[in-house]
Amino acid sequence: MHSFLQHTGAAASGRTQEVDGPHSGTAIHTATRLQQQTIANVFLADLVGGKWTPQKTVAIRFNEHEASVPGILAKVQDAVGGEEVLILTDGQGNEILDTEGTKGSTYWKQNSRKVFDVPEQQFLEIRSKKRRFSQRDDDSQPPEVLERTEEVVLASQDLPEVAQTIRRLKNVQQSRMHLLA
């Protein structure tokens, strides 16, 4: 019989527990996953002069399972203790939707991305104003241009992952070149 060390929730304080048996490996994996948490800053913003102005910053801690729009919103709600309905937006004031691209800590831990938490009522007000303004602009744009623009915006959201894949392929190619030389 093998003896395994299991990191429990108290492992952060340095305590460990010996566990014997066939399921010990699973317990170690689960406990390790619980320890892998990410901290992200969410800016609480209000509409001032037609622009989102950060009023407070909330540092939230979350694990991979909680890394989604509803999970982050719940963490922020718990931190601020408010009853007001909030919306997550990016730095340009666009609502962050709960999609495959926003699930997982990779999206949320990018330091270059500012995430704002704004009151839903203010968000809806500014969005309706933007729509009225942009509809005037859209009338002068051919539909193909608008569709292409939307495609480019959507494609640009995946650029960090694409760059990482390109670097990996480059490293593989360089490794092969060294082997052939």
Provide Rg for the chain, Cα atoms: 23
> Domain coordinates of the chain in residue numbers?
3-35, 37-130, 141-181
Give the pLDDT of residue 133: 52
Closest to 78 measured CA to CA, from 22, 31, 117: 117
Give the pLDDT of residue 30: 43
Count CB atoms within 10 A of the CB of residue 25.
13
Give the pLDDT of residue 132: 57
Closest to 3 measured CA to CA, from 16, 51, 32: 16
Query: What is the helix (H) or strand (E) element at residue 4, kind and residue range?
Result: strand 3-7
DSSP string, 76-87: HHHHH---S-EE
Give the pLDDT of residue 57: 93
Give the pLDDT of residue 67: 93
The CA–CA distances, whole Å, from 38 to 41, 97, 104 equal 10, 20, 10
Give the pLDDT of residue 51: 80
What CATH fold (topology level) applies to the domain 37-130? Ubiquitin-like (UB roll) (3.10.20)
Which residues are CB-neighbours of 65 under 8 A, at least 6 positions away? Answer: 71
Give the pLDDT of residue 112: 75
Per-residue pLDDT tens digits of the chain, which is 181 residues long: 332 222 233 334 344 444 444 444 444 444 445 558 889 899 999 888 878 889 999 999 999 999 999 999 999 999 988 788 899 998 888 899 999 999 998 898 887 788 988 988 888 888 777 665 555 555 566 677 777 777 777 777 777 777 777 778 788 777 777 777 6
